[in-house]
Structure 1
Amino acid sequence: MADQGDLQFEEETSMQKFKRRLKEEPLIPLGCAATCYALFRAYRSGKAKDSMEMNRMFRARIYAQFFTLLAVVAGGMYYKNERKQRREFERMVEERKAQEKRDAWLRELEAREKEDKGWRERHAAVSEAAKEAAAGGKKSTKAVDDNVNQAPQEKSDEKRGVGILEAVKALVQGNKEN
């Protein structure tokens, strides 16, 4: 597998690809245009009931199509190696995108697993507190409610600012106590 730095290709949009292909093989669109022109002239000749001109234009259409076919074959042979390199590059880009997608999916699964583990721990603590309360323990219901509403805390060295939700809760709880 070649290193991506060795290849001179880059990802391109449809329009960029169209322009590049037009520059690489200008004879193909030229042949298509000649074919269309011959068909248009044959149609006009048919409307004017000029059968000689119409037959001549149908022959010209055949020649134009043959020219286009030759341009396609010659261009295919001439650019064969470059197209092979481009296909390899595009395959590598697709593999990289697929790997990035898999990595993002795994990160999402890990985050969900961590969230689920935190929820299970909180649920187990609440269940334990409820059992103690039912058995006559002294734990207050406020502590149980606080434990249920508590989000899992990540261990980090940096301090985080008070979020809007926490500030609103503090205001509401401050007004209830007054």
Structure 2
Amino acid sequence: MSSNQYYDEETETALEKVKRLFKENKVVSAGVGLTIAAFIGASYGVRTGRREFAQHMFRARVGFQFFTIAALLGGGMFYDKKRKEERLALEQTRIALEDEQKNV
């Protein structure tokens, strides 16, 4: 997330949060897209009677779901750490400004 973007966790709606998280973590978006594509491919294979293809697609779907969950967890930890650092920096800036105003 770039420093010029601001969001308020307390007033942010669920849909806004999902949109923000998908923009922040592009790997999760890719994983979701690949999972959907594999599911559609498996559905196509089942409807056309191509069992082997459908089986490969179902297995790929499971793999992509695992990839997506790993990306969610990894990205969540990364962005949580990043947000904590940003909050700490903002708090230090606020304290420095307050000290500066007291000294004036």
- Give the TM bin, normalised by the shorter chain: 0.5 to 0.7
Alpha-carbon separation, structure 2, partners of 1:36 and 1:10: 29
Alpha-carbon separation, structure 2, partners of 1:67 and 1:80: 20
Which position in structure 1 is the counterpart of 2:72? Answer: 72
Q: Give runs of aligned pairs for residues 79-118 of structure 1, distance below 5 A.
A: 79-84=79-84
Q: Secondary structure at the match of 2:62?
A: helix
Is the 1:42–1:58 Cα contact (8 Å) retained in structure 2?
yes
Aligned length: 80
- Cα RMSD between the aligned structures? 2.7
Which amino acid in 2 is paired with 1:52? E
Which position in structure 1 is the counterpart of 2:27? Answer: 27
Q: Give runs of aligned pairs for residues 5-44 of structure 1, distance below 5 A.
A: 9-11=6-8, 13-14=12-13, 16-44=16-44
Per-residue CA shift, 1:81-134, capped at 9, x if unaligned? 2445799xxxxxxxxxxxxxxxxxxxxxxxxxxxxxxxxxxxxxxxxxxxxxxx
Q: Give runs of aligned pairs for residues 132-143 of structure 1, distance below 5 A.
A: none
Gaps of 5+ in 2: 88-104
Identity of paired residues, percent? 34
Which position in structure 2 is the counterpart of 1:112? Answer: none
Alpha-carbon separation, structure 1, partners of 2:16 and 2:46: 39
Q: 1:30 deviation in Å?
A: 1.5
Alpha-carbon separation, structure 1, partners of 2:74 and 2:82: 14
Higher-RCO chain (CA-CA 8 Å, sequence separation at least 6): 2
Task: Tell me the TM-score normalized by structure 1.
Answer: 0.38
Which amino acid in 2 is paired with 1:31? G
Q: Which is greater in Rg?
A: 1
Per-residue CA shift, 1:21-50, capped at 9, x if unaligned? 222101112111111111111111111111
- Structure with a larger share of its residues in helix: 2
